[in-house]
Chain A
């Protein structure tokens, strides 16, 4: 089947097998290997991307289901060389060790903040329940997400770090 998708701001048209998973399309066909596969039961969330502004586990979406959609991956978040505040917060708060879950965790965290701009600790923990990390014990991830929320709030922090809500929802595909 022929599909057309926009991934991280670039449009692609490809013939794909109906059974091809979106994550494999991204990785094998488009070379978007920043998005990774961690399990085969949609439990780990390592493959999380944004599909039309909302987080999905790309191992649980067929490439053909994404036809006509806009997809943002971890590789499309930074704009003009400037990291997304959530990316910065992950680094600043040591919210990653091996980094394998990180792309999915960051994409899910951005989705979570789009729904709830000021989540308390429990809201962050619950909101990230579908993304597994084996290295960090999650504490610094929670800290990073809450710190990013603070920086992303209107008027807070330096101008470069301010991102308005609609941009976040639409993902970073510039």
Chain B
């Protein structure tokens, strides 16, 4: 049979998901209503650190429609429940108990103190105002360095320190590279050596998924059913069982339509846990849906690191060593993977470069702030920012073109597979190809000329060019690597394929989408594997009853791990079908070829379709001896290695030196994410990633005032960019397939976010470097840029003191207009 069908993989299929999303036929958790359902509202501490001396719920309880008001004593009388952290990064890591509701002390502003249960959400909110709480205010510790100083106020006095953990990787000690101290000494002592040290600040960000978090718990079903707006239904199920001591088989978790996550919904929430407890107590379904203000203050934040970076090199630009000292803010508690987030960057500071000696040390610290955890990129954007910023600084010190410096140090395409100074083996890549395409689309030489002209003419609007040649580790993760990092679980993924009697196909996946388009992409993969029409495939996910096994969606893992599990399951279906097809056509299995859904006897025109085989198996009237009457198959895929997407991002920024305002004139990126299953979806992921990365560079920052109150607690104060705040992006791809998996895919979910932030900041700094500026703290708001040009501190408090990213109505004590 000649091939007539175009492969599905590689086609820009329009998404299956969209039909319901564009018509409002959606099932967000907050849409779910059950008979007799009660509504929860959580009373939250307005103070960042205080002792609770009295809670009086009497008046609230007496209001019409109020069914119950609970405090910690009611829900967890023995103070036995601790919300989980799955990543004990060191054996001696300090780990405070994170309760469902605060018991006698609150540790950050927004921590839950009591929960109202009422017949509707308005009445529940009314009752919050009638709960009397007396607080005795305690001193707060907010600044990371202050928290580490001797005699610092302690967030959790019982831990006797604010230091959560110290985690170190040293290439000399690990045997994967040289000794960085020696490299730095040598560079310091040599005539042709240079050592550069810089401190960068990764400001605190809010993930700001559009759908506020929500959970519904029904205790009246056969299994306790939890609907939640979560990225991790499978993890939530197991963790709920472990946290509450409930039998796991009596739990069912459903992630219905989920409105974005970006890491912000990788969590096991106090509110999910309290909803289970309340539903069990009352025997009624309950719902909790947060307001946006509640979300900003209590859903975990991201980033928040101080990065001290030392790089050593020779005057010809050859980098000889890199030393990274981080302080990372955990906030007041540890979430699911909080202490491990900086570690995800530990192996990425060396990026695409052949750096012979490397040391990474990260001190995790507690403060009286909202906890941090994963946010798009989780550790890797921080690493990429630091290395790409310091490469620009090194180039400036050496008087080299920043791209030339990168090229001198990066891994050449013929050097793959390449084992890095961290011991990771990059399977494939072609930095030259992506860079050359990006430079061409960008008109690098032309923009440099214009920059020179503007400098010479003293134009008040200066032009800067920023580069980011990034890579990331994706496809989290090989289970043995996670084991070696003391993570509490593996990194495999599950898939199952059910062949229906009519030839249609159901694909069950353990990864749990919230906007990524799995239903479409997985359908394309299966259509090719089984030779069935794209339309004949249904993808089932997000319900632990139908998709019983999985590790969910984060770390750009869905396609590179979950998608490969789908391929493996399909291979098993074909293997089973081959036996039956051979029997049906009375030939040997070896004589069969399988292509485009047809088993054909080699050299003849006799064939039978996989749908016919499925029907024959369903009837089961005439199967070979010993063959089970099913084609259904499942597979669990555990990757051997990470995947390593890369790309070259170029940004041209105009900086108005009179006002400090930055305008992005052009943004070009050429990403290499390996084989693209659906180029349209890939492009969309890149666009969205760019927006978030650019927003970190220019707009967003979660700011706490001196008492620990989040002053950027609404969308009026936290500057999420609108369409008017972002440029048009020029995107393109090169395709260097991953060699570590059969599809050649690498993952794309985080690429844009990881790459773009340093490209933008490099461009802004480059625009005003000739005015004596060599760094501007993020977000590069007009005030900060203007202050840098005019050599003025934007505020008096140095690092940690901060202004809002230009949002309307900021009431920060230090921020606002000066």
Report A's interface with B, CB cutoff 8 A: 17, 19-20, 24, 27-28, 32-41, 43-44, 46, 73-75, 77-78, 83, 87, 90-92, 94, 96-103, 106, 121, 124-126, 128-142
Residues of B near A87 (CB, < 8 A) are 22-23
The size of the chain B interface, using a CB distance under 8 A, is: 55
Cβ contacts under 8 Å, B208 to chain A: 134
Q: Does B167 contact A (CB under 8 A)?
A: no
Contact between chains at B714 and A39 (CB < 8 Å):
yes
Contact B684 A38 (CB under 8 A): no
Docked Cα-Cα span, A78 to B22, in Å, equals: 10
Quick check: is B411 within 8 A (CB to CB) of the other chain? no
Contacts of A97 in B (CB 8 A): 260, 515-517, 684-685, 688
CB–CB B262/A134 < 8 A = yes
Contact: B22 with A91, CB < 8 Å?
yes
Q: Say whether, besides A41-B715, A136-B684, A139-B729, A100 and B22 are in contact (CB < 8 Å).
A: no
CB pair B714–A41 under 8 Å, yes or no, is yes
Q: Is the CB of B210 within 8 A of A134?
A: yes
Q: Which of B210, B293, B691, B720 contacts A46 (CB 8 A)?
A: B210
B714–A141 CB distance below 8 A: no
Q: Is the CB of A40 within 8 A of B293?
A: yes
B22 touches A106 (CB 8 A): yes
CB-CB under 8 A for A99 and B259, given A40-B293, A129-B722, A134-B692: yes
CA distance A38 to B293 in the complex (A): 10
Q: Which of A28, A74, A134 contacts B23 (CB 8 A)?
A: A74
Within 8 A of A (CB), among B692-740: 692, 714-716, 720, 722-724, 726, 728-729
B549 located at the interface, meaning its Cβ lies under 8 Å from any Cβ of chain A in the complex: no
> What is the total of A-B residue contacts with beta carbons within 8 Å?
176
Chain B residues engaging chain A, CB cutoff 8 angstroms: 14-15, 17-19, 21-26, 28, 30-31, 120, 122, 208-212, 257-260, 262, 291-293, 514-517, 680-681, 683-685, 687-692, 714-716, 720, 722-724, 726, 728-729, 752
How long is the Cα–Cα vector from A138 to B687 in the complex, in angstroms? 8
Cβ-closest chain A residue relative to B720: A132
Q: Which residues of the partner chain A approach B752 to less than 8 Å between Cβ atoms? A: 137
Q: Determine the distance from Cα of A37 to Cα of B214 in the docked complex, in whole angstroms.
A: 12
Cβ-defined contact, A135 with B722, below 8 A? no
A34 to B715, CA, bound (A): 22
List, in ascending order, chain B residues with CB within 8 A of A129's CB: 722-724
State A133–B689 Cα separation when bound (angstroms).
12
Which residues of chain A come closer than 8 Å to B720, judged between CB atoms? 43, 132, 134
> Beyond A99-B515, A134-B688, A136-B687, is A38–B22 a contact (Cβ under 8 Å)?
no
B26 touches A33 (CB 8 A): yes
**Are B210's CB and A139's CB within 8 A?**
no
CA A135 to CA B691, docked complex, whole Å: 8
Choice from A73, A92, A96 contacting B24 with Cβ under 8 Å: A73
Question: B19: which A residues are within 8 A, CB to CB?
Answer: 91
Interface of B is mostly: loop
Q: List 20 A-B contacts (CB under 8 A).
A: A19-B122, A43-B715, A44-B210, A87-B22, A87-B23, A90-B22, A91-B22, A94-B681, A98-B260, A98-B514, A100-B259, A121-B728, A125-B724, A134-B260, A137-B688, A137-B689, A137-B729, A138-B723, A140-B683, A141-B723
> Which chain B residues border A138 with CB–CB below 8 Å?
687, 691, 722-723, 726
Q: Which of A32, A97, A137, A139 has the most CB of B within 10 A?
A: A137
Nearest Cβ distance between residue A26 and chain B, in whole angstroms? 11
Q: A43-B714, A91-B19, A126-B724 are in contact. Are A38 and B515 (CB under 8 A)?
A: no
What is the minimal beta-carbon distance from A134 to any residue of chain B, in angstroms? Answer: 5
A92 touches B210 (CB 8 A): no
Q: Contacts A44-B292, A91-B14 given: A133-B726 contact, CB under 8 Å?
A: no
Q: Which residue of B lies closest to A35 (CB)?
A: B24
Could you tell me if B291 and A102 are in contact, using CB atoms closer than 8 angstroms? Answer: no
For A92, give its contact among B14, B681, B715 (CB under 8 Å). B14
Q: How many angstroms between the C-alpha atoms of A132 and B692 in the bound complex?
A: 12
Contact B292–A75 (Cβ < 8 Å): no
The residue that A128 contacts in the complex, of B30, B31, B723, B728, with Cβ under 8 A, is B723
Q: Is the CB of A39 within 8 A of B715?
A: yes
A40 neighbours in B (Cβ, 8 Å)? 291-293, 714
Contact B211 A36 (CB under 8 A): yes
Tell whether A94 pairs with B14 under 8 Å between CB atoms, given A39-B292, A43-B716, A74-B24.
yes
B729 contacts across to A, CB distance below 8 A: 137, 139
Report yes or no: A38 in contact with B212, Cβ–Cβ below 8 A. Answer: yes
Per the bound structure, the CA–CA distance linking A120 and B259 in Å amounts to 29
> How far, in Å, is B122 (CB) from chain A's closest CB?
8
Whose C-beta in chain B lies nearest to the C-beta of A124?
Answer: B723
8 A-B pairs with least C-beta separation: A34-B24, A100-B259, A99-B21, A98-B515, A137-B691, A137-B687, A43-B715, A97-B515
Compute how far the CA of A140 lies from the CA of B716 in the bound complex, rounded to whole angstroms: 25
Contact: A98 with B680, CB < 8 Å?
A: no
Contact, CB under 8 Å: B259 / A98: yes
Measured between C-beta atoms, what is the minimum distance from A81 to chain B in Å? Answer: 11
Bound Cα distance from A32 to B258, whole angstroms:
18
User: Judging by beta carbons under 8 Å apart, are A137 and B515 in contact?
Assistant: no
- CA–CA, A33 and B772, complex, Å: 55
Provide the bound-state CA to CA distance between A165 and B568, in Å: 52
A96 touches B18 (CB 8 A): yes
- Shortest C-beta distance, A29 to chain B (Å), equals 11
Q: How far is the CA of A38 from the CA of B211 in the complex (A)?
A: 6
- Most B CB contacts (10 A, CB to CB) among A28, A40, A99, A142 go to A99
Nearest CB on A from B666, distance (A): 14
Residue in chain A with minimal CB distance to B12 = A94
Q: How far is the CA of A94 from the CA of B726 in the complex (A)?
A: 18
Contact of B723 among A24, A35, A44, A125 (CB under 8 A): A125
Given A40-B293, A46-B210, A98-B260, decide whether A34 and B23 contact each other with a Cβ distance below 8 A: yes
B688 touches A33 (CB 8 A): no
Task: Point out the residues of chain B lying under 8 angstroms from A27, CB to CB.
Answer: 31
The residue of chain A having its C-beta at the shortest distance from the C-beta of B14 within the complex is A91
Contacts of A98 in B (CB 8 A): 209-211, 257-260, 514-515
Chain B residue contacts of A137, Cβ below 8 A: 687-691, 726, 729, 752
B18, B122, B692: the one within 8 Å of A99 (CB): B18
Which residue in chain B gives the minimum CB-CB distance to A130? B722
